[in-house]
Amino acid sequence: MPSVCLYFQVHQPCRLRHYTFFDIDHNHDYEDEEKNRLILHKVVDKCYLPANRIMLNLIRRYRGDFRISYSITGTVIDQLEKYRMDVLDSFKRLADTGCVEFINETYNHSLSFLFSLREFKEQVTLHKKKMTSLFGQTGKTFRHTELIYNNDLANVVEKMGYRVILAEGADKILGWRSPNYVYQPAGCESLKLLLRNYRLSDDVAFRFSNTKWSEYPLMADKYAHWIHHVNRDGETLINLFMDYETFGEHQWQETGIFEFIRMLPREIIKNPAFRFQTPSEAAGDHEPVAPLDVPDFVSWADMDRDLSAWMGNTLQKDAIQTLYAMEAKVRRRKDENILRTWRMFQTSDHFYYMCTKYFADGDVHKYFNPYASPYDAYINYMNILDDFSGTMGKKRSVVREAAS
């Protein structure tokens, strides 16, 4: 029986304040809490609360036949606990239905796996504990930051006790194969791999309001027809993974996105062969059709679907290598505040802002970038790291002039 798996990423970064060379040694306050608060309120009112109401109503209307999943980063949870407990309460109501799975990831939405296995495991454990305390669920499914994935990650995640891992169904790892099956990660014994159908997912996440798109306007019945058509070759699983902010924030209410999601469950289950499942349910009901070897990292970002969105230029590499080179000194301080601050710097968004890609990918990066340029993002970040290193007694480096 074919399954539709809906998964939503909920994330807001901790934004850094404007920090100049002249702030070094004088100001140790790095976070722009006012910007965090203002943006959070906007996204809550445009997306989180209205979308959560719709999801809860759909679960009740279809008496459990509509099932969804979320991963909620620790960075946005911290902000919600500080400013908008009503949103966390609405997620708890969703959890209470028994129709929602909460997925684990790194607490700080970080790239720590690439640089520190210890830090990666600690952040995953922190996130798992937070999800359990908030929603009463012990995580079975893991998704890495921005769906970054390879064989090594899968093997570590399996040893940590997870049963399911999510990844991008990139053409370069699938070749002639389809993303619409369960696979087994190379080298793993029990872990199951669910792959994002990026074409169908991006039809909603990116193309929905594009009036120049040949399929515009996208209505729920048309989209359901595409999903039903996938099963023509006996394919068993359609994974639709996207940012939750798609609903009301990236695609505004005026585009009809909320009406689309309201109507979608009805249109899909009109075909009685189809059902909605969470990732762990889908993995439990479908056996892997084959092992899948992914030696190189893939992600769901940009056309390249690799690490270049965060580590594609010398600015990004310098920033992230400087950050993780601090780990030993950070840990020697045995100060939870210093450790927490260092982890705030790890959020992948900081490096995304430094991306220098152009054309279609560049347009996406500009949309999400609060800085005037990638070079401004780099200088701001490195000034902060310079001051932070000073608080630990580290000899400061000269602020980089590469982009001045």
3-state SS, residue 233: helix
Residue 400 — very low, low, confident or very high, per pLDDT cuts 50/70/90? Answer: very low
Domain containing residue 383:
310-391
Q: Are residues 285 and 327 in the same domain?
A: no
CATH of residue 131's domain is 3.20.110.20
Strand partners, 9: 71, 243
Does residue 397 belong to any structural domain of this protein?
no
Q: Are residues 79 and 204 in the same domain?
A: yes
Q: What is the mean pLDDT of residues 300-322?
A: 94
Q: Are residues 32 and 84 in the same domain?
A: yes
Quote the CA–CA distance of 71 and 96 in Å, as a whole number: 16
Count of domains observed in the chain = 2
**pLDDT tens digit string along 245-267?**
999 999 999 999 999 999 999 99
Q: Are residues 120 and 9 in the same domain?
A: yes
**pLDDT tens digit string along 338-350?**
999 999 999 999 9
Quote the CA–CA distance of 39 and 80 in Å, as a whole number: 12
Residue 358 — very low, low, confident or very high, per pLDDT cuts 50/70/90? Answer: low
Q: Are residues 319 and 377 in the same domain?
A: yes
3-state SS, residue 13: coil
Residue 368 — very low, low, confident or very high, per pLDDT cuts 50/70/90? Answer: low
Two tokens at 59? 């679960």
Amino acid 47: pLDDT: 98
Amino acid 233: pLDDT: 67
CB-CB contact of 338 with 392 (8 Å):
yes
Q: Are residues 209 and 235 in the same domain?
A: yes
Does residue 305 belong to any structural domain of this protein?
no
Say yes or no to pLDDT of 232 above 70: no
Does residue 353 belong to any structural domain of this protein?
yes
Does residue 303 belong to any structural domain of this protein?
no
Residue 360 — very low, low, confident or very high, per pLDDT cuts 50/70/90? Answer: very low
Rounded to two decimals, the pTM is 0.93
The question of whether 281 is a catalytic residue gets the answer: no
Q: Which of 238, 261, 292 is the last residue of a domain?
A: 292
Does residue 360 belong to any structural domain of this protein?
yes
Q: Are residues 100 and 211 in the same domain?
A: yes
Does residue 404 belong to any structural domain of this protein?
no
Residue 367 — very low, low, confident or very high, per pLDDT cuts 50/70/90? Answer: low
The Cα-based distances of 169 to 48, 176, 179, 308 in angstroms read 27, 12, 5, 17
Cα first-last separation, the chain: 59
Say yes or no to pLDDT of 125 above 90: yes
Does residue 399 belong to any structural domain of this protein?
no
**One of 101, 105, 146, 158 is an active-site residue; which one?**
146
Say yes or no to pLDDT of 399 above 70: no
Q: Are residues 235 and 314 in the same domain?
A: no
Quote the CA–CA distance of 240 and 230 in Å, as a whole number: 13
The Cα-based distances of 207 to 57, 204, 247 in angstroms read 26, 6, 13
Does residue 269 belong to any structural domain of this protein?
yes
Amino acid letter for position 24 = I
Q: Are residues 229 and 80 in the same domain?
A: yes
Q: Are residues 147 and 81 in the same domain?
A: yes
Say yes or no to pLDDT of 381 above 80: yes
* Mean pLDDT estimate for the chain: 93
Q: Which of 234, 259, 292 is the last residue of a domain?
A: 292
Q: What is the mean pLDDT of residues 353-361?
A: 71
Least confident of 3-12, 195-204, 362-371: 362-371
Q: Are residues 336 and 215 in the same domain?
A: no
Q: Are residues 168 and 78 in the same domain?
A: yes
